[in-house]
Amino acid sequence: MNDNMLSYVVDPQDHYIYLRDVLKSHLQISHSLLTKLKLQNKIRVNGQVTLTNYRLQAGDQVTVDIDLEEENTIEPEDIPLDIVYEDLDLLVINKPPGLAVHPVKGISGRTLANAVTGYWTRQGKSILFRPINRLDKNTSGLILIGKSQYAHQAIFRQQKQGRVSRKYLALVEGIIPENSGCINLPIAHPDPRFCARTIDISGKEAITNYLVTNRYEGFTLLSLTLGTGRTHQIRVHLSQAGYPICGDVLYGSPSPLISRQALHAGQLALKQPRTGARLQFETPLPADMARLLEYLSSTAV
């Protein structure tokens, strides 16, 4: 049995149940993935390709090969990667600042997608790039990537249920007086021609929780967790609160202290989609933020 095989032995209580119902309830296979698996004859019962309207008997061995044949349109590139963790289902990367996650208009190469595709191509694997969380080009830190549609959807379900934990560190301009707080303001994208988001009652719900970890002369270091995952959420919320992230030229102003927004996704926790084991990851601050905090440490208040 290969690494991409899911299996289930039919329990007596599931006797005479439809195969499709077992695939959805026990193996958590979505409708869209089920359609692809059927088209590629990836579903078997007792070693034989089987239609999903087949009625199972106790003891039947259901196997599903989740290694689909898919067309990859991302150009592979040989770009160094800081791999924090990898298993059969997921890849965790520590993304440096200045590296875009995915090709977009005006950025056709030299992205994390190109780098990961190149990494897999050199291993002789054709895997689509499926990030579960995304970071802005100039935000550093942990990015979670599903290695199959099954893994991506399983982890994304965890994220929607609030069971994927992410923590960020941000250095903001100004002294925040309270030690903790919550910003709950809807975020909208008023003009698709521009990337900037704004606070607007017509926008989507957005919740950012923060905890002060240190104060400096004119700056505050925050630990942040997200109740939602809107584009630019942390940057928009902190700017609206009057404490823009240091170096954020889109929602604040340039800084002589750092050449990008001082925002780092440093901690990540989730359950392994196949085994349910709890996985936790942490990565230190990149050199530019570490230098900045060292410089400010003598002015801590």
Residue pair 28/148 in contact by the 8 Å Cβ criterion? no
How far is residue 109 from each of residues 79, 118, 143, 157, 262, measured CA to CA in Å? 11, 12, 18, 30, 24
Q: What percent of the chain has pLDDT over 70?
A: 98
User: What does the block give as tokens for 221?
Assistant: 């270091």
Q: What percent of the chain has pLDDT over 90?
A: 81
If one compares 83 and 106, the residue with the highest pLDDT of the two is: 83
Average pLDDT over every residue of 145-173 = 93
Q: Is the pLDDT of residue 301 over 70?
A: no
Neighbours of 228 (CB within 10 A): 14
pLDDT at 169: 98
Give the amino acid at 206.
A
| Strands (DSSP E) found in the chain | 5-9, 43-45, 48-49, 61-65, 83-86, 90-95, 130-131, 140-146, 165-173, 180-184, 187-188, 198-199, 207-216, 219-226, 263-271, 278-282
Residue pair 87/154 in contact by the 8 Å Cβ criterion? no
Task: Assign domain 5-65 one CATH number from 3.30.470.10, 1.10.3720.10, 3.10.290.10, 3.40.120.10.
Answer: 3.10.290.10
Average confidence score pLDDT of the chain? 93
pLDDT in tens, 180-237: 999 999 999 988 878 899 999 999 999 999 999 999 999 999 999 998 889 899 999 9
Residues facing 61 on adjacent strands: 9
Q: Is the pLDDT of residue 240 over 90?
A: yes
> What is the DSSP secondary-structure string of 197-258?
-EE-TTSB--EEEEEEEEEETTEEEEEEEESS--TTHHHHHHHHTT-PBTT-TTTS--BTTB
Domain 83-299 has CATH 3.30.2350.10: yes
Q: Is the pLDDT of residue 3 over 90?
A: no
Distance CA 35, CA 231 (A): 30
Binned at pLDDT 50, 70 and 90, residue 1 comes out as very low
Binned at pLDDT 50, 70 and 90, residue 107 comes out as low
What is the domain partition of the chain in residue ranges? Answer: 5-65, 83-299
User: Which residues belong to the active site?
Assistant: 136
pLDDT in tens, 256-290: 999 999 999 999 999 999 999 999 999 999 999 99
pLDDT in tens, 130-148: 999 889 999 999 999 999 9
